[in-house]
Amino acid sequence: MSFFNKFKLFNFEITLDNAETLVNYIKSIWANNKMPETGFRIVTFNPEMLIATRQNKEFQKSVQVADAIIPDGIGLVWLLRKKGAKQVQRLAGIDLAWKLLKEAIKADLPISLIGSTDEVLKKSIENINDKLGKANLIYAHNGFFNDSQQAQITNVLLEIQPKFLLVAMPFIKQEIFLADLYTKGFKGVAMGVGGSFDVWANLVERAPVFMQKFGLEWFWRLIKQPERFQRLMQTFIPFSKIYFLNE
C-alpha cells in the first residue's frame, strides 16, 4: 500500500505509521466496503522474526508479501533508527489488534479467531465480549492442527470470509498459514498475534505500562519465564552482529 510511510530494511518494507493511522485506514475500508481486492494483512515484526527470516526462506517470503510490517520489538526500532528511520516508534501488535477488535465489534463485523488451546481461546472470547461488547464471532478454532485439518480450516475461512481475522500461533507457523490463506483468496483484514490470546485470557501477565513505554516487555517476560533465556540468546547474538557489524 503506497498509502503508508514505509522504510526499506534489508528485504522488508517496514511500515512507520502509528496505530491511529493504521486503525483509521482499516476503519475506512470497512465502513466504505472498499477492501483491497487482495485483502489487507499485518505482520508484527521483531528481532527474533528478523533472524528467523534469514534461516527460513518460506517464512521470509510470508513476511515480505504482507501489506503492513509493523515494528513490534524495541531492538527492531533501534535498528531502524540506526539505518535512518529516526522518528520510528514501536507499535505493539497486541495493542493494535485490540484497537482493531474494538472497531470491528463496534461495527458488528464478522470476526474469526484461530489459535492457542480451546481453553485459552474460550476464555479470550469471554473476556473480549466482556470488555469490548459482544463480538460477531462467526468462526473460532484452536491453533493445534495437522495439514489435513489446516486445509479444512482454510476452506472454511475462504467460504465465510470474515472481515477481521486474528491468528495466535508460533510466529513462523502463523505467518506461513496467513500468507497461504491470502494466496488462496482470502479478502479480509488479518494479523498474527502470537501469544496475545494468553494475555487476553488473563493467563499471562503483561509488563507494567512503564516497562512497555521503555520497550522492556522482553525483560519482563524473561523475569516471569526464566526458561526464555536460551531463546533470547539465540536472537541476541545474531541480532547484535546485524546491529553492530552490519552483517
Nearest C-alpha neighbor of 155 from the set 178, 176, 184, 183 = 184
pLDDT in tens, 37-56: 889 999 999 999 999 999 99
Number of structural domains in the chain:
1
pLDDT in tens, 103-113: 999 999 999 99
Q: Are 170 and 74 in contact (CB under 8 A)?
A: no
Q: Are 221 and 195 in contact (CB under 8 A)?
A: no
Task: Report if residue 1 sits inside a domain.
Answer: no
Task: Report if residue 196 sits inside a domain.
Answer: yes
CA atoms within 13 A on the CB side of 79: 27
Does residue 27 sit in helix, strand or coil? Answer: helix
Task: Report if residue 65 sits inside a domain.
Answer: yes
Task: Report if residue 212 sits inside a domain.
Answer: yes
Q: Are 120 and 194 in contact (CB under 8 A)?
A: no
Rounded average pLDDT over 129-135:
98
pLDDT in tens, 141-157: 999 999 999 999 999 99
Task: Report if residue 165 sits inside a domain.
Answer: yes
Greatest extent of the chain over all pairs of C-alpha atoms, in Å: 50
Q: How are beta strands 164-168 and 189-192 bridged, if at all?
A: parallel
Range of the domain at 120: 6-245
pTM: 0.94
pLDDT class for 3, splitting at 50, 70, 90? Answer: low
Cell numbers for 185: 483468496
